[in-house]
Amino acid sequence: MMTQPPDKLVPQPRDRFTFGLWTVGNRGRDPFGDAVRKTLPPTVIVRELSQLGAYGVTLHDNDLVPMGATLQERDQIVRDFKAVLADYHMAVPMVTVNLFYDPVFKDGAFTSSASAVRGFAIDKAKRAIDLGQELGATIFVLWGGREGVEGDGAKDPRNALKWYREAIDTLTAHILTNRYNMRIALEPKPNEPRSDIYLPTVGSMLGFIATLSHPELVGVNPEVAHAKMAGLNAVHEVAQALDQGKLFHIDLNDQRLARFDQDLRFGSDDVKGSFYLVKLLEDSGYQGSLHFDAHPYRTEDSQGVWEFARGCMRSYLAYKEKVRQFREDADIQVVLAHIQHLNQEGPAIVDEPSLNWWRERGYAYEELDQLITELILGLR
């Protein structure tokens, strides 16, 4: 009897795919329109994602425990949630804290000009770290969505950075005092919901991290869409984090350049950029979660939500398959070898004729790029 080859695009827990509860749970609200879908209970999300082959889920404190819950209520919710995770063999490798939704954070959390708000935010983040520890998470993400301004009149940005630093230092101290196995990943974004958000890129986060009391405990969580909103190359952003050993986590999604925060299904818009990102992650041996921080289109019903989730994972695996084909494609490898050969065997630059050789040589990047384009288009 003929056995079917396994479908390479069917996700498995070993692929380390995770989704925020807030991603598939997104209700489609936007600045111009109300919710179009019902709230999905975390238990349903865990069940559906596990059936689709995900490895785990991630969450903000308030995706699970509502603001204002009593300690007793909180403990009950966490107990029930842990039971569901165990039932469906799902992990929680990362948690984060919501420091942007409640109106108390309208002028920022760690960088609010009011010290009472800053203190409240730090305390909320500590409790979220405790929750993460309880759920087995080893990464704590901080996205400073409200850490910014519309105008710089009332707040000296140097003070904001000082307060930001003090907050992160307090959180690493909390991790160390409690001997938690937890590291922090800072997530940059250039703007939205604030006009300008402090520390807008991976590079600025890395510069900031070097000034912290415990830089070894702090890395970055780059998001594809956030780099693109700033007109940057997301692959290079991730590469810089890898280069410094700071890629603690990643938010995979897609985005058109120079638009509002779209959080599109991974790999759905920028096909070549997604290919190079997957290639980079696979080439680098990155072992962290492959985390999707994206939203289903607002047009979708619940069936569309799960198609969206399946699509994120299938697309990652499809690009990964293309990376494998890239490595095995004879013509591509010949062009790469030719480029390598010229790079290595070209003459040392010692006189005018050797200088001219380097001036005149070609790099064959057009041929290479055309081959890659055809490979991605499925024509090779």
Q: Which listed option, Mn ion, ligand GLT, none, makes contact with residue 320 (CB within 5 to 8 Å by class)?
A: none
Q: Which of 7, 15, 34, 60 is catalytic?
A: 60
How far from 216 is each of 154, 249, 281, CA to CA, in Å? 33, 15, 21
Q: How far is the CB of 222 from ligand GLT (least distance, A)?
A: 10
Question: Where in 196-255 is the site for Mn ion (CB under 5 A)?
Answer: 223, 225, 251
Binder of ligand GLT out of 63, 223, 237, 329 (CB under 6 A) = 223
Q: Do residues 102 and 67 make contact, with C-beta atoms less than 8 angstroms apart?
A: yes
Active site annotation includes 174 = no
Binder of Mn ion out of 132, 293, 315, 319 (CB under 5 A) = 293
Active site annotation includes 196 = no
Q: Do residues 139 and 182 make contact, with C-beta atoms less than 8 angstroms apart?
A: yes
Q: Which of 61, 63, 261, 269 is catalytic?
A: 63
C-alpha span between 333 and 320 (Å, rounded): 17
Contact between 147 and ligand GLT by CB under 6 A: the answer reads no
Q: Residues 42-71 vs ligand GLT: string with x where CB under 6 A? A: ------------------x-----------
Contact between 95 and ligand GLT by CB under 6 A: the answer reads no
Q: Which residue number, 22 or 55, has a Cβ lying nearer to ligand GLT?
A: 22
Q: Which listed option, ligand GLT, Mn ion, none, makes contact with residue 96 (CB within 5 to 8 Å by class)?
A: ligand GLT
Contact between 140 and ligand GLT by CB under 6 A: the answer reads no
C-alpha span between 287 and 357 (Å, rounded): 43
Binder of ligand GLT out of 48, 61, 251, 269 (CB under 6 A) = 251
Q: Across-strand partners of 196?
A: 149
Contact between 261 and Mn ion by CB under 5 A: the answer reads yes
User: How is 129-140 classified by DSSP, letter by letter?
Assistant: HHHHHHHT--EE
User: Strands (DSSP E) along 109-238, which ranges?
Assistant: 139-143, 148-149, 183-187, 196-197, 218-220
Q: How far is the CB of 153 from Mn ion (least distance, A)?
A: 28
How far from 100 is each of 71, 148, 172, 286, CA to CA, in Å? 22, 11, 21, 30
Q: What is the dihedral of CA 309, 313, 315, 317, to 10 degrees?
A: -170
Q: Do residues 274 and 254 make contact, with C-beta atoms less than 8 angstroms apart?
A: yes
Q: What is the CA radius of gyration of the chain?
A: 23
Residue type, 105: F
Q: Which listed option, Mn ion, ligand GLT, none, makes contact with residue 141 (CB within 5 to 8 Å by class)?
A: ligand GLT
Contact between 22 and ligand GLT by CB under 6 A: the answer reads yes
Q: How far is the CB of 123 from ligand GLT (least distance, A)?
A: 17
What's the token pair of residue 5?
A: 């080859």
Binder of ligand GLT out of 143, 208, 316, 326 (CB under 6 A) = 143
Binder of ligand GLT out of 147, 237, 269, 293 (CB under 6 A) = 293
What's the token pair of residue 286?
A: 């990155």
Residues that bind ligand GLT (CB under 6 A): 22, 60, 96, 141, 143, 187, 223, 251, 293
Active site residues: 60, 63
